[in-house]
Amino acid sequence: MFWHHTVTRVRPGLGRDRYNNPVPDWEHATRTTVSGVNIQPRSQAETTTSTRTMVATGWTLYTAPGVDLDLDAGDRVEWGGLLLEVEGEVARWYDPVTGGVHHVEAALKRVTG
């Protein structure tokens, strides 16, 4: 089965900074399990300085044809013991025949170091 991965969408609560501006509140995040997606490696980059090595690794999350996914640019995804950030906007590919969502693609990344 191609759509065999299960992930957890992590959506932050809404907090306020000292100027009363809205900010993500990760301590009060909601978690939603999502099954039937596929995750594939996308990219990897490594930057080394005299004091640290930064590694940025990317994946792409795909849904099955006909499946929309409630995922936004400000969300995170837990998968395989990793906490990944959604990178940029989530792409919804539309079916020209039905007008509905054909599938969803989301770029995910993890930065360490």
Q: What is the pLDDT of residue 33?
A: 96
Structurally, the chain folds into a number of domains equal to 1
Q: What tens digit of pLDDT does each residue of 13-33 get?
A: 999 999 999 999 999 999 999
Answer yes or no: is pLDDT of 51 > 80.
Answer: yes
Domain residue limits at 49: 5-112
Q: What is the pLDDT of residue 1?
A: 54
* Lowest-pLDDT choice from 38-42, 53-57, 84-88: 53-57
Return the half-sphere exposure (C-beta side, CA atoms, 13 A cut-off) of residue 55. 3
- What CATH number is given to the structural domain containing 100? 2.40.10
Q: What is the pLDDT of residue 112?
A: 80
Q: Which residues of 100-111 are buried (b: 16+ CB within 10 A; e: fewer)?
A: ebbbbebbbbbe
Q: What is the pLDDT of residue 111?
A: 81
- Radius of gyration of the chain from Cα atoms? 16
